[in-house]
Amino acid sequence: MGGFPGSNFPGTNSGPIPLSNAAVGGGAQDVVSALKGISQQLSSIYSLLSSKLTSVGGGVVTLATAPATTTVVTAAGVTSTSRVHLSPQTQDAAANMATTWITAGNGQFTVSHTSSALTDRTFAWDAFQ
């Protein structure tokens, strides 16, 4: 496991940070060494995460009202392999999360949802490749 609880990220190849000497009265060099280890691990984690996710768009969408059960969003950077994530911006949007899903396509994505007369089912969205 990495130096932080739950930080067993693939590709970090580093073990726990040796803080034991610093914690029991070790010298300043032990603290500096530990901080360098933390910095290296954070840099590795950042590199890993940034290499895996590239933002291809974002915005706001309000779901179409009844009788519609889908809402199509035009998004130039989105492809069929994009991951689109919704974040509810209203209480009604949050209440509809369990029955809402996304299908990504080239230049657009489709939000499938329940039919409702509510006009404030608004979500922020982000798409990643």
Cβ contact 107:75 at 8 Å? yes
Q: Enter the tokens of residue 39.
A: 């910095």
30 vs 66 pLDDT, higher one: 66
pLDDT of 6 strictly over 60:
no
Give per-residue pLDDT as tens, 25-65: 566 777 888 888 888 888 878 777 766 778 899 999 999 99
Cα–Cα distance, 101 to 83 (Å, whole number): 11
Evaluate if residue 14 carries a pLDDT over 80: no
pTM for the predicted model, two decimal places: 0.61
Mean per-residue pLDDT over the chain, rounded: 83
State both tokens at 34. Answer: 């530990």
